[in-house]
Amino acid sequence: MGERCGETVSARGRSETGRWPTPSRRQLVRAAAATITVGVGVPGGLALSGLLRARDDGDDPDLRRVRWAASSNDQNLIDSRQVLISAFQRAHPEITVKLWLVPFSTDAKRAALTELLRGGEDGPDVYLGDVIWLAEFAAKNLALPLDDQFDRAFWSRFDSTLLDASTYRGRVYAVPYFANRGLLYYRPDLMTRIGRPPPTTWEELAGAARLLRGLPRTPHHVVWQGDAYEGLTCVWTEFAASAGGRITDAALRHSTINTPSCARALGFMCGLVTQGLAPRDLATMREQQTTDLYNNDEVAFMRGWNTADTALGSKPWKYAATPLPTFAGLPKPGYSAIGGWSMFVNPRTRRLDAVRSFVEWMTSPPAQRTLSRYGQMPTNRSVIEQSSLDNDSPVLAVIRGVRPVARPAAMPRYPELSRVVYTNIHRALSTELSPAQALARAHHDLNAILAS
Ligand code: GLC
């Protein structure tokens, strides 16, 4: 693992697995360079009415230099950005795309982009934004309404759930690019050793971890993202939903976090830590640390996004993914948080024509199929429906069977809401507060935000 340009990247990758398209090391290093400008290739590509025509801005080449802010979209050096930029430029030789790297973590990226976008037209023209930013960025005029920038045929690429999540006060502010879901990764070899099937409830998982602890030199821990950041809100949303709880009511008016269902979820999570079934330093872990532990054979179970798969080895004894567990007595499977990233456009861009061409191409079937080969879940319906998609990445087949749950992000103050959630859940995980105290505090602070 290394740190480059504020972006955390893993030194391991698909190249070890041989199962995936494997760009050379040199390509990877180039992909991580601060700015990428890729050469042009053959003309071609998809046409969409109203998109860029060379004569529109033939006099000003600067209007054809799109600046795209996007961190790598998984935890791996091998990501799809370089490949897709090159392919786009082959389809649109009149346009150049410069990649602006931004930090990997969603919270740091949100802060960096807010700053860059306040720089007006000097900011990026188009940027990858988290699905949870939409209401906030729309309300703060950091995202351009896009419903009238593309025609009806374009929008029919996406299903209504994705479009609803991209809509704020009746206008669409982002184009869905790829989706994420939480999954359970586990070690098939270890399950075989204890003679147990993959766990479908959290209680079964705890039982398996106890059995593994009894074996010599055998990893037994379960890990998830326990640090105080957005990732923990995702994990909490999953645990709570699987126990029958939610953070707020559907109308986003009241906290519903201080309920018996949520108490069951948090009591269980904290119990795993105090019983030594989750590592002591769980409350410091983000996506990268959990994946590294899994790759280093130090844990038996990991909650991770579908993209974590791209950092896992290809050894079948070591690698398997399944929907997240539920709690005993409740419907299976457990819930998976809806994550994902969309194309947002800077309201002050001068390069709207070129940006539209870029966004149109990046959500077209060839681009979306390329994404799936990198473990990303495409958003283009025609690509999702392709049955051969499951061959691109085994996690994509697993994702089809998960039960999704959204975070309560349809309000501009979602970042504050989320901070209350992850701060208090983190305090409980690090034993600073009891589960009951943490939920009572979160309830109080959430209601203060929701009432204002
Ligand atoms: C992933 C998800 C994103 C989420 C983030 C939390 O990137 O796609 O929606 O907010 O993880 O760490």
For 156-182, the pLDDT digits (tens) are 999 999 999 999 999 999 999 999 999
Q: What is the pLDDT of residue 47?
A: 34
3 state DSSP class of 190: helix
| Domain 25-180+339-393: which CATH number of 3.40.190.10, 3.40.50.880, 3.40.50.300, 3.40.630.10 | 3.40.190.10
**What pLDDT does residue 23 have?**
32
Question: Quick one: pLDDT at residue 355?
Answer: 98
Q: What is the pLDDT of residue 104?
A: 85
> What is the Å distance from ligand 1's center to 414 Cα?
14
Atom of ligand 1 nearest to the CA of 130: 9
Q: If you take atom 5 of ligand 1, which residue's CA is the nearest one?
A: 231
Are domains 25-180+339-393 and 181-337+405-451 of this chain identical in fold? yes
Q: Tell me, what's the pLDDT at 436?
A: 98
pLDDT attached to residue 387: 83
B/e letters for 386-398, b = 16+ CB within 10 Å, e = fewer, are beebeebbbbbeb
Tell me the residue type at 105.
Answer: S
| Ligand 1: residue whose CA is nearest its atom 12 | 231
Q: How far apart are CA 232 and CA 262, in angstroms?
A: 15
Note the helical H segments in 148-201.
Answer: 152-155, 160-165, 188-194
| pLDDT on residue 419 | 98
Q: Token digits for 377?
A: 């879940």
- Among residues 128, 180, 154, which one has the least CA distance to residue 343? 128
Task: Quote the ligand 1 centre to 130 CA distance (angstroms).
Answer: 7
Instruction: Give distance in angstroms: CA of 233 to centre of ligand 1.
Output: 10
Integer Cα distance of 241 and 404 in angstroms: 10
Separation of alpha carbons 91 and 122, rounded Å: 26
Q: What is the pLDDT of residue 314?
A: 65
Q: How far is CA 240 from CA 32, 243, 265, 336, in A?
A: 37, 5, 5, 11
Q: Which amino acid is at 172?
A: V
What's the pLDDT at 162? Answer: 93
Pocket residue to mutate for ligand 1, from 178, 224, 230, most atoms within 8 A of Cβ: 230
> Which ranges of the chain have pLDDT less than 50?
1-57
Domains of the chain, by residue range, sit at 25-180+339-393, 181-337+405-451
What's the CA gap between 15 and 384, in Å, rounded? 25
Quote the ligand 1 centre to 305 CA distance (angstroms).
8
Question: Which protein residues are within 6 Å of ligand 1, measured from CB?
Answer: 106, 130-132, 180, 230-231, 234, 305, 339-341
> Structure pTM?
0.87
Strand partners, 127: 69, 344
Q: Ligand 1: distance of its center to the CA of 238 in Å?
A: 13
Q: Mind listing the pLDDT tens digit for each residue in 233-284? A: 999 999 999 999 999 999 999 999 999 999 999 999 999 999 999 999 999 9
CATH topology of domain 181-337+405-451: D-Maltodextrin-Binding Protein; domain 2 (3.40.190)
